[in-house]
Amino acid sequence: AQSVTQLGSHVSVSEGALVLLRCNYSSSVPPYLFWYVQYPNQGLQLLLKYTTGATLVKGINGFEAEFKKSETSFHLTKPSAHMSDAAEYFCAVSDRNSGYSTLTFGKGTMLLVSP
Amino acid sequence: EPEVTQTPSHQVTQMGQEVILRCVPISNHLYFYWYRQILGQKVEFLVSFYNNEISEKSEIFDDQFSVERPDGSNFTLKIRSTKLEDSAMYFCASRAGGDLSYNEQFFGPGTRLTVL
């Protein structure tokens, strides 16, 4: 069975600082990997995904993530935080062999951005 | 831009009552999902639905739960006799089809269910 671990339920950064949100997965075969963001009172929005090919993937709003198979990680980064980045971020995986593509989520990390 | 909608945004019910949570997926999508998130816990998969039948379900999705696509546009989750532990945020999602590497799941804003 797959599992996802997000280190830190809350991460606080100052505006302009580097954002690093950690995600590690446990799976016998490297899965598809996703980061979703949830703004208050809104649904989950896909930030980026890794399926195959280049291990550094770029997403919306200046975020990127790197798949590291040896570390079973898919950490999310952004060079310079903006106040509008304050939200909850979820890492998720999907089994490559699953026909229906069910997502397994981490517990989420709340990103707090201070002026 | 097309989006998944869910109603109501918040539902309060008494233990033992039936509730129906409603979702309108994106119109040309073929795969439909329900997930839930108990406060402070991770988002958990409940069920997936394709071609008018359940395709996968989790251990959470017991006989108290059912899903239906009654009219080709709505996708509903029914809980027959709610329990206190059913209190959670319920998310609906839909996907166009094909391999997930080409088609993301689009999520609705969620329905917060509170069971008293």
The pLDDT of residue A100: 64
Q: How far apart are CA B54 and CA A6, in angstroms?
A: 30
Q: Which residue of B has its CA nearest to A6?
A: B42
Residues in chain B within 8 Å Cβ distance of A98: 56, 100
What amino acid occupies position A29?
Answer: V
pLDDT at B47: 96
The partner residue sitting opposite B108, judged by closest CB among A43, A49, A99, is A43
Q: Which is higher by pLDDT, B99 or A43?
A: A43
**8 A C-beta contact, residue A115 and residue A15:** yes
Tokens of B95: 């996907």
Structure tokens at B44: 């958990």
The series of mean pLDDT values per 10 residues for chain B, 116 residues long, is 92 97 94 92 92 92 94 93 96 82 82 97
Q: Does A25 touch chain B (CB under 8 A)?
A: no
CA-to-CA dists, residue A32 to A3, A26, A59, A94, angstroms: 12, 12, 15, 5
Dmax (CA) for chain B in angstroms is 42
pLDDT value at A107 more than 70: yes
Per the model's pLDDT, the better-predicted residue between A75 and A99 turns out to be: A75
* Confidence at A30, pLDDT banded by 50, 70, 90: confident
- Whether B22 and B108 have beta carbons less than 8 Å apart is answered as no
Among chain A residues, CA nearest to B102:
A51
Average pLDDT (A36-51) is 88
Which of B50, B95, B110 shows the shortest C-beta gap to A43?
B110
User: What pLDDT does residue A115 have?
Assistant: 94
Amino acid A97: pLDDT: 73
The answer to whether B61 contacts chain A (CB < 8 Å) is no
